[in-house]
Amino acid sequence: MNLTVTFSKAFNKLPLNIREKVTIPYLFLSIILLFGAAYVVTQVVFDTIEERFTNQLIEAGNLASSRMVEEENQMLKVLRLLAYSKGVPEALAQAEPEALRTLAFGTILNNQQKAVEFLDVNGNRVLSIHHIEGGKVEDYNFSTGGISIFADQDFVQNAILQHNDKRGNKFAGKIKTDQGDYLYVAGPVYSPANEMVGVILVGTPLTSLVRQIREETLAQITLYDFHGGILASTFTSPTNLPDQEVQNVLLNQTDASFIRADSRDLNIRNIGYRELLSSWKVRGDVELGIIGVALGETFLVSTTNVTRIQITVMTGLLLLLVILFGINLSILITHPIMELVNASKEVKNGNLNIQVKTISKDELALLTDNFNQMIDSMRESKNKIMESYDSTLEGWSKALEYRNEETKGHTDRVMDLMMKSAKTLGIDESRMDDVRRGALLHDIGKMGIPDMILNKPHSLTTEEQEIMQLHPVYACEMLKDIDFLKPAMTIPYCHHEHWNGSGYPRGLKGEQIPLEARIFALVDAWDAITTDRPYRDAMTKEEAVKTIRQEIGTHFDPGIAERFLKLVCS
């Protein structure tokens, strides 16, 4: 390691440009690799290409069959976990979908299962849980009741009637649903009294299954029905299987092995493939159709275990050389580049407080210095711009106060109290600038309210009150197109929402209301009742505390209200 560091320092001090630093070491390495590769290719060419290709195709087929078994076992595992989960049999017996959802969803999500069906003893659907195609891991659809398409399936009936075969009381089959073709495993659910209370089906879409097998085998996978129709395929333009081919496979195949499988030649998008065809079986001997495994016929050198054994000895020394040279080259060349790349990512994410250390004496050193100078300039410019922006916001706030003499000084007071409260009540330090701007602009929407309503000395009429309640909407309209103010919009837009959902403008309820808006609602109310207004005197601190507490659970968040009162009374 010390030798590597010493060599790295000496190499970086050489007056070479980047191209020379990359070319000279790799030129030497390329010569070695050229001789080694020539020897390996020579050995491969002398082997029987056809035999290699066939062996690779058979191995891919057997891997595909193994993967099918693994998927079936995974579904059986999830089925057993659900069937024996505490409370599930009782909830299924009582046909309580919400209870089933609560009890089962964690297991389904943890195992990333795509589809689960809960049926009662008559095969009627109690609860259906399906992952949303293309959604996040936790995105699922839930549905209850309705006509079940599952009860008419033979394998589901076997579970409902509590049949047993040589593998037990679990059965498998494929079903065409509204979401596509699925492979399901079905099994009965028993109560603690050993009474059958329903059936659980655990499934996976065939399109997802063939994609997984494709990723593990590198082969193109197609599932056919008994008429040769396409159920699922990784080919972009799959072709149907002739009926005679289907019959040949079903007559000649005695097990799920690909060693004696039938084959056919395909031409997909002008690429030649050879496809091995075997019976697609589940639960050991239940045939669901035909599985095809295809490789391009130009595939000459495989990565099978046989090939690895043949070339391991020859590539061992080359790999060792590559590793040794790679360690040094990564330190010498890629490290300073990666430093710049990582720094640029930080800058992209808004971090302008970053500097890159110069560790060489080549073009990268000049690039690093220029980069650092550029960041310094950007940081200085950003600070000036933000100062200018904040001055403008303060001007907006003052302009509003001049329109509404009743609340003069209100903005400065609530902004100071909001900053103090936010730090105490859980707002992250990185959000403080946005919180300050939101407090400063909390009533900016009142710029759109007519003076005759805004400064009316008496109570507002119902119509005037409705107009006044539009000021959060006006604030949103004013600020939504200003990028740097978008994170600060939650307070101006949401500070009149109430914990029980009776607020405005959207009627948000509970934790639907952003945390900073819930805190500011307390701050705004506290300042309003503890300062003099033309139509009333300020409340004492004790009266204000009592007033706030009366609104906890209706207007204010119970979780933060008491902590806020403790803060303002300290």
Query: What are the pLDDT digits (tens) for 113-126?
Result: 999 999 999 999 99
Whether the per-residue pLDDT at 388 is higher than 70: the answer is no
**CA–CA separation, 107 vs 276, rounded Å?**
37
Q: Is residue 123 part of a domain?
A: yes
Contact 454, 446 (CB under 8 A): yes
Indicate yes or no: pTM above 0.95. no
Domain count, the chain: 4
Instruction: Report the pLDDT averaged over residues 523-546.
Output: 85
Asked if residue 544 and residue 438 are part of one domain, the reply reads yes
Asked if residue 284 and residue 183 are part of one domain, the reply reads no
Q: Show which of 266, 296, 326 is a domain's final residue.
A: 296
Asked if residue 133 and residue 27 are part of one domain, the reply reads no
**CA–CA separation, 123 vs 121, rounded Å?**
6
Give the long-range contacts of residues 374-382, CB within 8 A, separation 24 or more.
375/343, 375/347, 378/347, 378/352, 379/352, 379/353, 382/352
Q: Which of 3-7, 453-457, 502-506 has the lowest mean pLDDT?
A: 3-7
The CATH number for 291's domain is 3.30.450.20
Asked if residue 252 and residue 132 are part of one domain, the reply reads no
Asked if residue 516 and residue 397 are part of one domain, the reply reads yes
Contact 267, 273 (CB under 8 A): yes
Exposure pattern of 376-403 as b/e (b: 16+ CB <10 Å)? eeeeeeeeeeeeeeeeebbeebeebbee
Whether the per-residue pLDDT at 310 is higher than 90: the answer is no
Locate the DSSP E strands across 120-219. 125-131, 140-143, 171-177, 180-190, 196-205
Asked if residue 319 and residue 287 are part of one domain, the reply reads no
Which residue segment(s) compose the domain that 126 sits in? 67-208
pLDDT band of 151, cuts 50, 70, 90: confident
Asked if residue 488 and residue 414 are part of one domain, the reply reads yes
Query: What are the pLDDT digits (tens) for 229-256?
Result: 999 999 988 999 998 888 888 887 665 5
Q: Is residue 303 part of a domain?
A: no
**CA–CA separation, 184 vs 206, rounded Å?**
10
* CB neighbours of residue 472 within 10 Å: 26
Written as six digits, the tokens of 371 are: 């980069």
Asked if residue 268 and residue 203 are part of one domain, the reply reads no
Query: What are the pLDDT digits (tens) for 18-40?
Result: 555 656 666 666 667 656 665 66
Strands 171-177 and 220-224 turn out to be unpaired
Q: Is residue 345 part of a domain?
A: no
Q: Residue 375: CB partners within 8 Å, gap ≥ 6?
A: 343, 347, 352, 354, 355
User: pLDDT at position 68, please?
Assistant: 87
Q: Is residue 401 part of a domain?
A: yes
Q: Is residue 321 part of a domain?
A: yes
Whether the per-residue pLDDT at 433 is higher than 90: the answer is no
